[in-house]
Amino acid sequence: MTDPKMVTVMEGDMLQPDMGLKRQDLRILRAQINVVIHSASSIALLKSLKRLFGPIIDSTSRLARLALDFDQLECFVFISSAYANAYIPSQTDGLSGIKIQETIYQLQSMEAGKNENEELERELQDVQKTGTSSSYDSHNFPWDYAYAKHLTERLLTHAFAASDKRLLILRPSIIEPAQSFPYRQFCLPMSTPHIIFTAGIALTPSRTACFSSQFKDPYHQSTVDYVPVDVVVDRLLTHLAQGTTGPVHAVAGLARMSFEATWTRTTIHRRIPWAIQPRWTRQSWHSKLIHPLGRLYCTIGASFEFSEEKTLAVWQQLSDSERQGLHLFTDMDTLYHDHEHMRSDHIWTCMEHLTKRQQWARWMSKCLYRSLASFKS
Ligand SMILES: NC(=O)c1ccc[n+]([C@@H]2O[C@H](COP(=O)([O-])OP(=O)(O)OC[C@H]3O[C@@H](n4cnc5c(N)ncnc54)[C@H](OP(=O)(O)O)[C@@H]3O)[C@@H](O)[C@H]2O)c1
């Protein structure tokens, strides 16, 4: 991968004009690039909309404008999030899974006399000037990050509708370590929410952790959608090659895990001598009653049924030889039955990050978990 004949690295910064790229680099891109895959993003779930405006909404819109000017551009790929539409549960009874389609959801009906372009422009200006918008205020998004991705999807859809270039929006759910490529367990620990959650639960001294759920029996009824990173990449490349347009979910779908299964897999790594049990409240996922990890990963306690129709349709079109070696679906044996799917040293890396500013927690983690650092399963 690092062979300069295959990869050319250009330094840049999404927050700067022209992505902070040098003039000669821009000239090369303008003349030669036919596909842009835009994955750079702030992934800070708890950052305010005001602080996410630059790193998600504005930088993506500016990159899209730049890319639309590339002579050879065929397709622009935006990495969004399956949770961009997670505001939907608040509009249902919350007693069953929430079906989310591979489509762009509009947030509100347009004011009389205004066209879609004017509405979007106004929403964008409101977010930039005030750090919120009436669309945002009237929907229950889990994080400002999710709304930032939602608004960005709509802005891109509008921008590309007026051009002859293709827009592909990939929406991963919760990215897990690889099931196979480049090797099993590959991941960046601090970009892998399940590993961060596992480290957090292992360090929590309390005997209970409270989460928000509308289910009667959240322990058995709620689910978590984990998708291995190689499935995300293979879905991206396959849909890119097959000419798919619009949103595509990169998710476990039917292979999503029950809360019960994920809790067992998570707490198995805990070495504090007493157990921790989940507790549930019907209060909003932003309530102060909720455990800090439950406020960070506030979709715990819900159940999303993300459609995978576009990937199932593409799979049907592929020949046996094209299917060989392609990881378009989560391997349930790896996800459910391999208890070493998360590497111990990766959990340790997250513990080091989480305890950076708390001396007592750092001391406790060293006493109980230091051996994880050198332990590679
Ligand atoms: N992790 C998940 O579970 C998950 C789930 C759904 C969607 N996603 C999406 O997947 C994409 C990748 O996320 P990730 O989890 O892999 O996060 P990540 O490891 O933090 O990757 C984000 C990348 O964005 C780059 N970046 C941030 N600010 C930048 C700037 N101003 N200029 C240039 N580059 C910048 C970072 O570069 P540096 O390292 O140099 O700062 C980093 O390489 C994101 O779009 C994220 O929203 C992730």
Domains plus CATH for the chain? 1-172 (3.40.50.720)
Contact 142/287 with Cβ under 8 angstroms?
no
Predicted pLDDT of residue 251:
98
Determine if residue 267 is left, alpha or beta; phi over 0 gives left, psi from -120 to 50 gives alpha, anything else beta: alpha
Does 188 contact ligand 1 (Cβ within 6 A)?
A: yes
Distance separating alpha carbons of residues 112 and 362, to the nearest angstrom:
58
Per-residue confidence in pLDDT tens, the chain, 377 aa: 677 888 999 999 999 999 999 999 999 999 999 999 999 999 999 999 999 999 999 999 999 999 999 999 999 999 999 999 999 865 456 567 899 999 999 987 656 567 788 899 999 999 999 999 999 999 999 999 999 999 999 999 999 998 999 999 999 999 999 999 999 999 999 999 999 999 999 999 999 999 999 999 999 999 999 999 999 999 999 999 999 999 999 999 999 999 999 999 999 999 999 999 999 999 988 899 999 999 999 999 999 999 999 999 999 999 999 999 899 999 988 887 777 789 999 999 999 999 999 998 999 999 999 888 876 55
Residue 14 C-alpha to ligand 1 middle, in angstroms? 11
Distance separating alpha carbons of residues 266 and 248, to the nearest angstrom:
29
Q: Which of 14, 37, 39 to mutate to test the pocket of ligand 1 (most atoms within 8 A of CB)?
A: 39
Contact 86/299 with Cβ under 8 angstroms?
yes
Predicted pLDDT of residue 94:
57
Does 303 contact ligand 1 (Cβ within 6 A)?
A: no
Predicted pLDDT of residue 285:
86
Ligand 1 atom closest to the CA of 20, numbered from 1: 32
Enumerate the β-bridge partners of residue 305: 99
Nearest to 309 by CA among 352, 375, 254: 254
Residue 40 C-alpha to ligand 1 middle, in angstroms? 4
Does 81 contact ligand 1 (Cβ within 6 A)?
A: yes
Distance separating alpha carbons of residues 227 and 230, to the nearest angstrom:
8
Contact 326/238 with Cβ under 8 angstroms?
yes
Ligand 1 atom closest to the CA of 83, numbered from 1: 6
Sequence-distant (6+) residues with CB within 8 A of 316 are: none
CA 167 and chain centroid, separation: 19
Predicted pLDDT of residue 375:
62
Predicted pLDDT of residue 336:
77
Sequence-distant (6+) residues with CB within 8 A of 36 are: 63, 67, 70, 73, 75, 76, 77
- Name the closest-CA residue to atom 16, ligand 1: 191
Does 174 contact ligand 1 (Cβ within 6 A)?
A: yes
Predicted pLDDT of residue 26:
96
Does 16 contact ligand 1 (Cβ within 6 A)?
A: no
Residue 55 C-alpha to ligand 1 middle, in angstroms? 10
Distances (CA, A) of 274 to 154, 208, 254, 267, 367: 48, 10, 34, 11, 16
Enumerate the β-bridge partners of residue 167: 76
Residue 115 C-alpha to ligand 1 middle, in angstroms? 33
Predicted pLDDT of residue 339:
72
Predicted pLDDT of residue 178:
96
Residue 42 C-alpha to ligand 1 middle, in angstroms? 6
Does 254 contact ligand 1 (Cβ within 6 A)?
A: no
Residue 73 C-alpha to ligand 1 middle, in angstroms? 23
